Chain A
Amino acid sequence: MSIQQLFYTLQLADNALINGHRLSEWCGHGPVLEQDIALSNISLDHLGQARSLYQYAAAQMNALPMDAKLNLFASVALNDKISKGETIEEDDLAFLRDSWDFKNLLLVEQPNEDWAYTIVRSFLFDVFNLYLFNSLKNSKEEQIAAIAEKSLKEVTYHIRWSSEWMIRLGDGTEESHRRLQQAFNDRWMFSGEMFEASNADKEMLQEGIGVDLTLIKNQWQQHISKVVEEATIMLPTNNWMQTGGKQGKHTEQLGYLLTELQFMQRAYPNMEW
């Protein structure tokens, strides 16, 4: 066990939680009932994956000596629990850390905007997840491999859903095509971060726990290009990428999201329902 392994687990967990939360915001607002249900189902898969990963991260954190885990995160609420010698649980990691403690990709915290923006975000992330979990299921770390094996099955449904919508919107009406292209252009700058290796990514690759992101990047690009072509939209030519999420440098969007996600635990600490 190492701090980097904990950070690596949290990268995966935070992506799942934040993406799942964003999708859950559609619940009750879907354009038609079937799509509302689809989004809630997909969101639930991500939240389930997040739970497994946070449970595993909490176990790693509890095994760390006091001086290693105290002040590992900026959150006062979390450090308060740790200093009292309390056991950290999955919920503490989801509800008590602050924005700069989160390691998720900037892509997944971006707001839903309209249907096209939601589809583009899901599509870019689902394709990444497909190849990520496909590789992670061979991780040397048993728990990570088990979560990846489970998640891979679920991602298969997600990717069918988001790819179908990419094609339906892109190859649809003039307006749906225009709006999908606009959303794709706008979200593209957040896609590069997926393949930028953090210290945790590098160390876990060396130890046989993580994955080779350059390999995944190739698979991802090929897959994306195929669907984009069928959707009759253009790959953006501007390849300047905004990064920072894995280092805890987030867009302001994450702050608003966490305010809502964490409200109950922050206002009424330790409440259960």
Chain B
Amino acid sequence: MLQQSEIYKCLATVADPEVPVLSILDLGIVREVIINEQDEVTIIITPTYSGCPAMDIIAMQIRFALLAIGVLKVSIQHQLSPAWTTDWMSDEGKEKLRAYGIAPPHRKSTDTLALFEEEITSCPKCGSPNTEMTSQFGATSCKALYRCCSCQEPFEYFKCH
């Protein structure tokens, strides 16, 4: 009989293809793992953004990782609701992001901003809060572009969602 803990241990080795420093568990996109009596595994994942192109690759990598520990019968299901939020990102994940040079999300996603208010975030390199947003859209849907006005480094911010 397969144990949940074995599956989760395995899922912890699956990295987000866009931000490889994070595992899919850190990111909070694994919603549920169900193991039935025939040892068939169902994994429910939720996309970060509707158009996230990494979802198909993540599903494939989950299959490979489970295959490597001998789990063959895997079904991966997508679930949209409740919608993914950065509140589900683990604290460990946020620390990994900062060490990697990406400013982690730092407020609750339920605190809505006024229409033109900018999120203030500290530079992940020098820690200065004196930063400015260059664009609310970055190389992936989940990130915005910022610049540090103290150390002059451009950096990415994993935006609250």
Contact = CB atoms under 8 A, between A and B. Distances in A.
B141 A45 contact: yes
- Dominant secondary structure of chain A at its interface with chain B: helix
Contacts of B116: 160, 163-164
B26 to A, nearest CB: 20
A160 B141 CA distance: 15
A52 B81 contact: no
Contacts of A37: 135, 137-139, 145
B51 A48 contact: yes
Given A150-B81, A161-B136, A45 B115 contact: no
Contacts of B136: 38, 157, 160-161
Interface string B128-154: 000000111111010001000000000
Nearest to B80: A146
A44 interface: yes
A261 B67 CA distance: 37
A149 B149 CA distance: 36
Q: Interface range on chain B: under 10, 10 to 19, 20 to 34, or 35 or more? A: 20 to 34
Interface in A130-164: 142-143, 145-147, 149-154, 156-157, 159-161, 163-164
Contacts of B161: 153
B101 interface: no
A250 interface: no
B138 to A, nearest CB: 7
Nearest to A53: B50
Interface string B74-86: 0000011111100
Given A146-B80, A146-B81, A34 B137 contact: yes
A45 to B, nearest CB: 5
A167 B98 CA distance: 34
B81 A44 contact: no
A42 B161 CA distance: 15
A154 B80 contact: no
Interface centre among A37, A150, A164 (most CB of B within 10 A): A150
Interface in A160-210: 160-161, 163-164
B18 to A, nearest CB: 12
Interface of A: 34-35, 37-38, 41-42, 44-49, 51-52, 142-143, 145-147, 149-154, 156-157, 159-161, 163-164
Q: Which 9 A-B pairs have the closest CB atoms?
A: A48-B51, A48-B50, A146-B81, A44-B51, A34-B135, A146-B80, A38-B137, A41-B137, A150-B83
Interface of B: 47, 49-53, 79-84, 112, 115-116, 134-139, 141, 145, 161
Given A45-B51, A154-B50, 18 more contacts: A34-B134, A41-B137, A41-B141, A42-B137, A44-B49, A44-B51, A45-B141, A49-B51, A52-B50, A146-B80, A147-B50, A150-B47, A150-B50, A150-B80, A150-B81, A152-B83, A159-B115, A161-B137
19 contacts: A34-B145, A35-B135, A37-B137, A38-B135, A38-B136, A41-B138, A44-B49, A44-B141, A45-B49, A47-B51, A48-B50, A49-B51, A51-B51, A142-B81, A147-B80, A149-B80, A149-B82, A150-B80, A153-B83
